[in-house]
Amino acid sequence: MPQPLGRKCVPAGSLLGASAPDRTGIVHLGLGNFHRAHGAVYTAHAMAAAGGNWGIRGFAHSSDRVVAAMRAQDNLYSVLQLTERGAEAGVIDVHRDIDVAARDPAAVVDAIADPAHRIVTLTVSEAGYTRDPATGRLALDALDVAADLMAGSTPRTVVGMIARGLEKRALSGAPFAVLSCDNLQSSGDVTRAVVEEFLQAAGVRSDVLSFASSSVSFPNAVVDRIVPGTTDEHPRLVADLLGVTDMCPVPAEHFTMWVLEDDFAGGRPAWDQAGARFSNELEAYEMVKLRLLNGSHSLIAYLGILSGAPTIDVAWRQDFVREAVLNEISDDYLPTFTPPTGFDADAYVSELDARWRNPLIGHATTQVGSDGSVKLLQRIPDAALFHLRRGDMPHHLALCTAAWIACIAPPAGFTPQPLAECIVEPARGRLAAAVDGAVTVPDHVRRIMNGGFFPDALTEQDAFTTRVADLLTLIIRDGARAAAADVAASR
């Protein structure tokens, strides 16, 4: 009978990297699966290589699920690496004092203000940055942001917590870095912008603004590792491999990458000795990651959902999905950017093929397709505008947009595959209101494209809206495969 994982029961040789010292140097917001299989693993290896007090004070945003399970195991958990050659498991021991931010937001503010903490890392999803989709700026009118801005309130949003923590920390003047590890373009610049917009809207003292600009850095970073949600199968695999019961293991692929700007105002762990790459070519890496991987991932997910595929590997094994995605990469994404020095696009795409094909990962199409209203903003508008401004039509980006609408805001009379109902999408209500009363598919699409869900620059492109409407009409009439065939014929 396996014993529960805990400090008294760590299987010999299973620790990945070092166990953390008692002191914490990092505050992490968003204690989900990705952080636990990525930043936490690099930090454990960095401490093993070069030491340092970089234990992690972690906060889940609102759910107690991971926190309760980790606490019962003395903050330990295992990372389950799933490859086509088999599975391996290792234990991570870098978290201390984990909690739920919504339960005690003041504790988050205090942790950020504490000079012992020199980095705040974030994996709070694209939605966690509370930006207006049309402008990309902090959504000052959103109810939760407006509530956080009220004098004397305890902040509930991520941006509010960072800004109020920074304001309190200005009293000590201790420098620190805020490191976004979410799939955002210019993640550091975006995070600085929303935090500074919050501070200005809150009317903080000028010395707080000076502290923010002189002593707080927001390095840009690109993160990469496919980390699906945990299922009941994963604890069983850990029990087989390590002989312990782990209530909250994290499944992950073998591949992992982290590219960062080396701009840490308060110092950093030796992540470079743990495999992270420090580079001045962040923008180029962002294009590769956010377009070739994440943009393609969205198209696989929505075409997959419309054809009843529950996971990415099942969707990817359908010829029409693979053809659409590989053509999207070559026609619509690769021409839009200059890759990093020495980058081999063919090798990268072959590697993506192997990563998406991995049947052990079981990455749910509905997970990748969640929050499309926020994620597609990183993946579609800029690349689409690149082509539209040259008079070319990015057909595959239009297909992805049409497939998203078919899943999330289907026109009256069309019911997508049942999987579509399982997609978490915070904008569902607003989308339904925008299309209420639409009588034709073009009218339906126009209301979405002009409804504040995409940047103005894209919504001004009538040809794109028309192409999305044509493809949505085909999806409704003949299915996703037929729409993909139409796109293939238009190349």
Ligand X SMILES: NC(=O)c1ccc[n+]([C@@H]2O[C@H](COP(=O)([O-])OP(=O)(O)OC[C@H]3O[C@@H](n4cnc5c(N)ncnc54)[C@H](O)[C@@H]3O)[C@@H](O)[C@H]2O)c1
Q: Toward ligand 44H, which CB reaches closer, 94 or 368?
A: 368
Q: Where are the alpha helices (DSSP H) in 317-425?
A: 319-327, 345-357, 365-368, 372-379, 381-388, 395-408
297 binds, among ligand 44H, ligand X, none (CB under 5 to 8 A by kind): ligand 44H
Convert residues 223-242 into a mask of x (bound to ligand 44H by CB under 6 A) and - (unbound).
-xxx----------------
357 binds ligand 44H (CB under 6 A): no
Residues paired with 131 in a beta bridge = 138
Which position among 375, 446, 467, 481 is part of the footprint of ligand 44H (CB under 6 A)? 375
Convert residues 93-132 into a mask of x (bound to ligand X by CB under 6 A) and - (unbound).
------------------------------xxxxxx----
Q: Toward ligand X, which CB reaches closer, 173 or 359?
A: 359
HSE value, Cβ hemisphere, 13 Å, CA-based, for 401: 29
Shortest spacing between CB 314 and ligand 44H, in angstroms:
16
Nearest residue to ligand X, scored by beta-carbon proximity: 32
277 binds ligand 44H (CB under 6 A): no
- Is residue 369 exposed (0-12), middle (13-18) or buried (19+ Cβ within 10 Å)? buried
Name which of residues 168 to 187 contact ligand 44H (CB under 6 A): 183
Q: Toward ligand X, which CB reaches closer, 60 or 474?
A: 60
Report d(CA 157, CA 167) in Å as an integer: 15
223 binds ligand X (CB under 6 A): yes
Tell me the window of 32-40, 131-139, 146-154, 270-278 that interacts with ligand X (CB under 6 A).
32-40
**Sequence-ordered list of residues with C-beta below 8 angstroms from that of 319, at least 6 positions apart, any chain:** none
User: What is the dihedral sign for C-alpha 134, 135, 137, 141?
Assistant: negative
Which position among 57, 61, 379, 467 is part of the footprint of ligand X (CB under 6 A)? 61
For the chain, the residue count is 491
Q: Toward ligand X, which CB reaches closer, 63 or 350?
A: 63
Which position among 294, 417, 466, 490 is part of the footprint of ligand 44H (CB under 6 A)? 294
In degrees, to the nearest 5, what angle opens at C-alpha 446 toward C-alphas 442 and 452? Answer: 160
Q: Residue 28, SS3?
A: strand
How distant, in Å, are the alpha carbons of 18, 99, 163, 239, 436 from that of 160?
A: 33, 18, 5, 41, 34
Q: Which residues contact ligand 44H (rule: CB under 6 A)?
A: 126, 183, 224-226, 293-294, 297, 368, 375
